[in-house]
Chains A and B, each alone.
Chain A
Amino acid sequence: MISQKQRDEFLVTHYLNEQKVLEAEALIDKSGEINELLRQVALIYSDLDDLENSLRVFKKAYECGDKKSLPWLIELLQNFYPDESELPELLNTRDQLLATRDFDVLFSMGNMHITRREFSEAIETWSNLLQTDNWMIERNLLSELVMNPDNEVVLEALGFKGSGDINEVILFLKERYQHFLKRHSEALLDFFYFCQRYVNHPAISEIAPEALLDMIHGFALEGSIQSIFVGHSMALSGEMKDSRFEELIQKYDLTELAKISGLELETRGSVTGSQSINQVPTGNYSSNNAKSNEIFERADVAIKNNDLDGELAIWIEGAKQGIQGCFNNIAVPMASKLGITTNLLIGASGGEDSAWSPLVKGIQMSEMKPAEFNLISIDNPLGSSVIKGSLKERLPQASKENINKFSKLIEYLGFVIKQLDENLFCLPFGFEGTFIPIFAELINDEGKDSLLIYAPILSSKIERSNVVINPVEPLSKFELEILKVLIRDVHLVFPNSGLYLGDSFSRLPSDRIPIHFTSSQKVQEIWSCTGPAGDEIIVEPLPTSSEFTIFQFGIASDLSLQSDHFETAVRESFKQVIGVANHLTEMYGESLDYWNQFFDHMPITSTHYQEFVVDDEAAAKQGFLGAQIRKHFKAYLEKQKLENLQDLVSLNVPLAKRALTAIDLNKANVQLVAKNLMELAENYEEDVEIRNALNNVGWFYMNQNSFDEALPYLLTAARLGSANAMSNLSWQLMLLGRHQESVDYHNKFYYRILTTRYSPIDFDQASNLRSNNALNLWALGTSTSELKAIWDDEFFQGSHVESKFYPILIDFLQGEVEASRNKVQSFDDSIKRELITTFEETSTHQGWFGEISRKSLELLGHEAKKRRGLFGRG
């Protein structure tokens, strides 16, 4: 709802704009709630040279509690009635308020200076308040700049850092207004009039009128009458089919107010009108730049033809030539294609399923919410480029103490990181089926210990024929701009929202903010990661067929950062480096067409590299481990010769032994495989590949009727979490009557097995091992109620067949013959057949379970197999 007070305020403001002071004052008196507007009435009286009324109303305002009126009142009295008796007391009050730096008094005193165009004095008066990000203070200075953009005193006071060029000032004003837009409806309206004034400037014409209208609508919904009327006028003048404001006028019953104020039918000039969003620039900017005009004219033709691809190509062409406005315009056709919309309040949204959206949104949002960081270029060769000695110089290492500090933090954060050298670490990070090595290097640069976290992200373009297209070409300015937008996306907190919530490093000391950098190096090798992630992974630089350039992106942090600050720097650096590499990988993967338009280089994750590095045979000869493992393994698969496996394991690296998990077992290789897998298993507490392979070894020996040989492999597999191995183990031990031994193993490995269930087989076998354990407990004399509790546990046992059967068998053995038989009869035939098969196999057994099996068959109504031989021993 819109209150009467809001209506009165609006009408008084209208009267004051019309200089209808009598009406304004009368309405203020009638309202009794808007006395702060009396000061404006007094100021209008003073504009009209009506001294007596001006004095009268200032006094009235001051008596109503408006301290902002006090300086004006004193000024008038001093100038025209210096002998006025109340002046000393008023002066005294003012001075006391000034001593406490009262905002109201300071505000008006500054405004008096502005009125007299004494800007230095005004800024001096507001010196402390200028840092408080206060809209009321800054509003007056911004208004001055809109009218006089060359006012250097005001520019400097507001922190303007540019050269004073009109384009820079307009961009600056746009940024400042946008800063306040979210909080103040007056800021939006001021911004609107600023846009009208500079409508032909590229930075203004880029603003989507719909977005501006959406913002005005936001304030209109909050009851800002002026926003409702301005929005309505803007919609009319822009010929937009937007009835929202009309509806609000009806909803809030503002028709009468609109008529009185005359605003209802007023058609203002607007930023919409006939201007297209990407219009040809006019004025100073384009008149000096024929190339720019040509680009914008061509783009306009593409826009008129609704040719989004053509428009995009033109903007990219312009941006690569450094023509102002083109880079930002790239986002317009792309946003249309990807379904991205941008609202100044809410931010950019949509296009979530496209890898190119972060770039498009970033370009759009960085206009209104720029990120503050520099992207510097590092010339020194980084350690990851010199580890194999292809480059000679290295930066000195950081102190041992700092290297230790970093290592401990990495361990604390739970990162699995490979140490390549004393001060060089590598986190192999998986991207779409391949790895990018993320490096952490601790260096001493000019006496200061620093941590560099970086990764190769781009390289020279390499054709499939292994021809390097541009071996030494650096990243273009355009590519660097794209990179900055992608960094912004991973650096800002909620980069695409309308609100500025800081960046990753906001809480770090301002003198030690980490620095974003790029580095390019000519190399003839590329880092390769072989094997699964973790300790076993082999990270080594493989030689390439020709020299090319790699481009690294990273962040340098000061190692004197402490505690949470240090942790933030490390975490965020990894996050950002991975984030940018990921963006590039996904962009390349999604659209090669876009990629080739935007980039003259390749992402480091391109599959081309697999062909670009020397082949395994050659690399193996040069001693590269990953290549040697692949070579020997391949040779075994082809020739099935044991010596190939022996060559493989003789490399004596864990990854070579892991390759044995993929070998089909036979009598010739089982010993070698079993021995090496057992050695490998010593390094692990849990591992799916190794435990499955060891369970297979166990089965292999059991099939040879050699349970004793199988036992250590099954036990090790169970230790690594194999439910299948433990289930086999407890069944076999039960048949052998080694019940206590089985229960002990079960208890030892139970938690590990249950907490490392991944596959459906793991879950099924976990039910089975619980059931088998219950059988062993039964044999050891555990009460039937406890046993039933295990089998009846629906959560763990689910549809496990034997678990349904054994509780009935217990009842059967305890004399509930008929009831038990009836329960078993209700089983599906397939289940009964499965049970009969199991118990037939074990019914000839001489031990405890032989008797259980025979009773089970009796319950199932099936005759047990007869023992063969005269003595029933068969």
Chain B
Amino acid sequence: MSFHEIEINDENIKEIVEKEHSFQEFEYLVTSHQYEVREKVALNPKLPAVYANWMAQDLAMSVRVNLAENPNLSAEIIHKLSEDEKIAVICAIAKHPKLPQGKLMEFSKHQSYLVREAAASNPTLPASELARLRNDSEWGVRRRVAENRNTEPKELESLLGDSYLEVISAIAENPSAPADLLSKLLERTEGDEGIRSFRDSILRNPTFPEERVIEIYLEGKKPNQDDSEDDYMLSNSGDRIAISQRYPLSVRAIELIIDDPYQVVRGYLARNLSLTDKYLSKLALDPEASVRTDVVNNPNASPETKATATLLGLESYNDD
């Protein structure tokens, strides 16, 4: 048998994970002697059931862990993986949306916090069980409760008082967190640089009202900073950067941000999938090459817009 070694690079990984391979190609990948290849193909949503069945008995734990993350598994494979002897595989399958409720409830009461944490992040875990896990002794479990979309607002509110910043930060990212809760949380971030990251999460959270976001954006544009200092925290470019990454963005917000004086903000906006070609064509004329490069990388940009940006020059990366 000829020896085929596949180079593990970003391009190949993307192809192995995403491409709809032929049945035969899948067999080459699934039976590869390189566990790294098997790890990747196990994630492919188009993986045929017969091969998923083979992979469920792979000796490499990491292959079974990745298989458990594959969204298109049969009930039989899910059952097999949920009986795996390795806790890492159990943790992976505990997050699977198709895991039967009975098994999920069993995992949410597991003696290891690792499994409870995984179960708490399962999108099908009922609100009542999340409410129980809200009092878990491990903050990792509470964090997963805080970021689970099924967690009820009153439970999220009670988690606002958690002693771990990681838990509170997870609330900021939860798209089901009510707007008033996020507003309350935002107030706590005022003047506290240590919690910048979850201020960003709130501003990016689609539940947080865009009206308020626009107000914050406009406040952030006031020239109250010393330009020569160029200090990130003292200027409000942090807020503006976070807002430019928000998805979805309304036309009004886009039209405000598109003229931002800071090229980093415009760059993030150029990457935003809310932008139609109408706005991308404007950003294609941006004086900054980095912004134009972001336009070219936005899948919503038309060929004409990409050509314009390219003609004006893109950012060059020199490995030397």
A767-B91 contact, Cβ under 8 Å, with A562-B139, A564-B140, A752-B59: no
Q: Decide: A563 near B141, CB < 8 A? Known: A755-B31, A757-B33, A800-B1.
A: yes
| A755 CA / B31 CA spacing, docked (Å) | 5
Tell me, in angstroms, the Cα distance from A794 to B2 when the chains sit together: 8
Chain A residues numbered 755-795 whose CB sits less than 8 Å from any CB in chain B: 755-758, 760, 763-767, 770, 793-795
Cβ contact of A754, chosen from B31, B91, B229, cutoff 8 A: B31
B223 part of interface (Cβ distance < 8 Å): yes
B3 and A412 within 8 A (CB): no
CB closest chain-B residue, reference A65: B223
**A132 near B: Cβ within 8 Å?**
yes
B228 & A751 in contact (Cβ 8 Å cutoff): no
Decide: A751 near B57, CB < 8 A? Known: A65-B223, A102-B224, A563-B140.
Answer: yes
Report B130-154 CB contacts with A as 1/0, cut-off 8 Å. Answer: 0000000111110100000000000
Q: Does A103 contact B (CB under 8 A)?
A: yes
Given A564-B140, A751-B31, A767-B1, does the pair A408, B87 have CB atoms closer than 8 Å?
A: yes
Nearest opposing residue in chain B for A765, CB measure: B1
For A409, list chain B residues within 8 Å (CB): 114
- Mask, B195-233, CB within 8 Å of A = 1, is 000000000000000000000000000011110110101
Residues A148-198 near B (CB distance < 8 A): none
Q: Does B28 sit within 8 A of A, measured CB to CB?
A: yes
- Cross-chain contact of B32 among A102, A412, A755, A765 (Cβ < 8 A): A755
Residues of A within 8 A of B193 (CB): 132
CB of A372 within 8 Å of the partner chain: no
Instruction: Say if the beta carbon of B260 comes within 8 Å of chain A.
Output: no
Q: Which residues from B are CB-within-8-Å of A562?
A: 113, 137-140
Closest-by-CB residue of A relative to B63 is A755
Per-residue 0/1 for A562-587: is the Cβ within 8 Å of any B Cβ (1 yes, 0 no)?
11100000000000000000000000
Scoring B residues 11 to 36 as 1 if CB is less than 8 Å from chain A, else 0, what string do you get? Answer: 00000000000001000101111010
Contact B1 A798 (CB under 8 A): yes
Is B234 among interface residues, defined by CB-CB distance under 8 A? yes
Q: How far is the CA of A136 from the CA of B227 in the complex (A)?
A: 12
Interface size for chain B: under 10, 10 to 19, 20 to 34, or 35 or more residues?
Answer: 35 or more
Contacts of A104 in B (CB 8 A): 224, 226
Closest to A789 in B: B24
Alpha-carbon distance A764/B233, docked complex (angstroms): 63
A564 engages B58 (CB within 8 Å): no
* Cross-chain contact of B114 among A134, A136, A408 (Cβ < 8 A): A408
State whether B228 touches A758 (Cβ < 8 A): no
Nearest Cβ in chain A — how far from B114, in angstroms? 5
Distance in angstroms between the alpha carbons of A135 and B232 in the assembled complex: 12
Q: Are A755 and B38 within 8 A (Cβ)? A: yes
Bound complex: CA A589 to CA B280 (Å)? 60
In the complex, whether A75 has a CB less than 8 A from a CB of chain B is: no
Specify the chain B residue showing the minimal Cβ separation from A103.
B234
List chain B residues, Cβ under 8 A from A799.
Answer: 2
The answer, yes or no, to whether B61 is at the interface (CB within 8 Å) is: yes
A10, CB-defined interface residue at 8 Å: no
The interface residues of chain A lying within 8 Å CB-to-CB of B86 are 411
Q: Say yes or no: is A600 at the interface (Cβ < 8 Å to chain B).
A: no
Inter-subunit contact A134/B231 (CB<8 Å) = yes
Interface size class for chain A? 35 or more
Q: Within 8 Å of chain A (Cβ to Cβ): is B112? A: yes
Nearest to B86 among chain A residues (CB) is: A411
State the majority secondary structure of interface residues on B. loop
Chain A residue, CB-CB nearest to B2:
A798
A94-106: CB near B (< 8 Å → 1, else 0) gives 0000000011100
Q: Are B54 and A751 in contact (CB under 8 A)?
A: yes
Nearest chain A CB to B2 CB, angstrom units = 3
With a cutoff of 8 Å between Cβ atoms, the chain B residues found around residue A767 in the complex are 1
- Contact mask for chain B residues 141-177; partner A; CB cutoff 8 A; 1 contact, 0 none: 1010000000000000000000000100000000000
Q: Are A563 and B228 in contact (CB under 8 A)?
A: no
Q: Does A352 contact B (CB under 8 A)?
A: no
Verify B223–A796 contact, CB threshold 8 A. no
Q: A412-B114, A763-B1 are in contact. Are A755 and B33 (CB under 8 A)?
A: yes
The closest CB in chain B to the CB of A803 belongs to B1
Render A106-144 as a binary contact track against B, CB cut-off 8 A, 1 for contact. 000000000000000000000000001011100000000
- Complex contact B59–A686 (CB within 8 A): yes
A770 vs B1: C-alpha distance when bound (angstroms): 10
Query: Which residues on the B side are within 8 Å of A408 (C-beta)?
Result: 87, 112, 114
B88 at interface, CB cutoff 8 A? yes
CA A134 – CA B226 in complex, angstroms? 12
Question: Contact between A414 and B59 (Cβ–Cβ < 8 Å)?
Answer: no
Contact of B111 with A by CB under 8 A = yes
Flag whether B4 is at the interface (Cβ < 8 A): yes
Residues of A within 8 A of B225 (CB): 103
Q: Which residues on the A side are within 8 Å of B24 (C-beta)? A: 793
| CB nearest to A794 among chain B residues | B2
Question: Which one of B58, B114, B138, B233 contacts A755 once the chains associate, using CB atoms below 8 Å?
Answer: B58
Q: Within B280-307, which residues are at the interface with A (CB < 8 Å)?
A: none
Q: Is B69 an interface residue (CB 8 A)?
A: no
Q: Which residue of A lies closest to B166 (CB)?
A: A564
Task: Say if the beta carbon of B277 comes within 8 Å of chain A.
Answer: no
- B239 interfacial contact with A, CB 8 Å: no
**Residue from A404, A405, A795 within 8 A of B28 (CB atoms):** A795
Residue contact B228 to A414, C-beta cutoff 8 Å: no
CA distance A413 to B59 in the complex (A): 15
Contacts of A751 in B (CB 8 A): 30-31, 54, 57-58
Interface presence of A278 (CB below 8 A): no
Kindly provide the distance from the CB of A826 to the nearest chain B CB, expressed in whole angstroms. 21
A760 touches B2 (CB 8 A): no
Asked whether A136 lies within 8 Å of B59 as measured between CB atoms, the reply is no
Across-interface contacts of A136 in B (CB, < 8 A): 226, 229
Q: Are A760 and B3 in contact (CB under 8 A)?
A: yes
CA gap between A685 and B224 in the complex, in Å: 68
With a cutoff of 8 Å between Cβ atoms, the chain B residues found around residue A760 in the complex are 3
Asked if A851 is an interface residue, CB under 8 A from chain B, the answer is no
Is the CB–CB distance between B33 and A795 below 8 Å?
Answer: no
Shortest distance from the beta carbon of B138 to any chain A beta carbon, whole Å: 5
In the bound complex, CA of A873 to CA of B112 (Å) = 69
A36-B228, A795-B2 are known contacts; what are 5 more A-B pairs with Cβ within 8 Å?
A: A103-B234, A411-B86, A763-B3, A765-B1, A800-B1
Ranked nearest first, the 5 interchain pairs of A and B with the lowest CB-CB distance are: A563-B140, A798-B2, A767-B1, A754-B31, A763-B1
A interface residue numbers (CB < 8 A to B): 36, 65, 68, 102-104, 132, 134-136, 404-405, 408-409, 411-414, 562-564, 685-686, 750-752, 754-758, 760, 763-767, 770, 793-800
Can you report 26 A-B residue pairs in the complex whose CB atoms are below 8 A from each other?
A: A132-B193, A134-B234, A135-B229, A412-B91, A412-B112, A412-B114, A413-B88, A414-B88, A562-B137, A563-B141, A751-B54, A754-B31, A755-B31, A755-B32, A755-B33, A755-B35, A755-B59, A756-B33, A756-B59, A758-B33, A793-B24, A795-B28, A796-B2, A797-B1, A798-B1, A799-B2
Q: Chain B residues in contact with chain A, CB under 8 A?
A: 1-4, 24, 28, 30-33, 35, 38, 54, 57-62, 86-88, 91, 111-114, 117, 137-141, 143, 166, 193, 223-226, 228-229, 231, 233-234
